[in-house]
Amino acid sequence: MVIQVRAYVGEGSNRWPAVHNVDAARVFRLALERGMPGVRYHAVAEEGVPFKQVAEVIGRRLGVPAISLSPLAARRHFGLYAGYAREDGPASSTLTCEWLGWRPEGPSLLADIDRPEYYEP
């Protein structure tokens, strides 16, 4: 019997920046229209969503537990993606918003992945 889980590493406090795909498309369009050559823009609506919260929403929707794993267990569980699962990667779009006049409007990552249509067969 295989018991599926949604996992996070340690306390799961490592953060992932997030942006809705429609907001990302708008900021890239604005960068093409208004951007300055050589400038890097960050399409980030949320500076950092804790990985544990992502695992908990997905686990609840799938009816499986969200559990903490040690770094060693995480390497086995996530395989090649273990580094992504434990890295803390907050990012800011403050300058992007200022320079391009961009304001994200889409749903937050947690609200978006909590929609039932993500989990329909």
- Number of structural domains in the chain: 1
CATH number assigned to the domain comprising residue 77: 3.40.50.720
For 81-120, what is each residue's pLDDT tens digit?
999 999 999 999 999 999 999 999 999 999 999 999 988 8
pTM above 0.75, yes or no: yes
Q: Is the pLDDT of residue 2 over 80?
A: no
Nearest CA among 32, 14, 13 for reference residue 24: 32
- Per DSSP, the residues of 15-34 read EEEE--HHHHHHHHHHHHHH
Distance CA 4, CA 53 (A): 17
Which pLDDT band holds residue 121 (cuts at 50, 70, 90)?
A: confident
Say if 51 falls within a structural domain. yes
Strands 6-9 and 66-69: parallel
Say if 19 falls within a structural domain. yes
In which domain, by residue range, is 30 found?
6-118
Say if 1 falls within a structural domain. no
For 31-84, what is each residue's pLDDT tens digit?
999 999 999 999 999 999 999 999 999 999 999 999 999 999 999 999 999 999
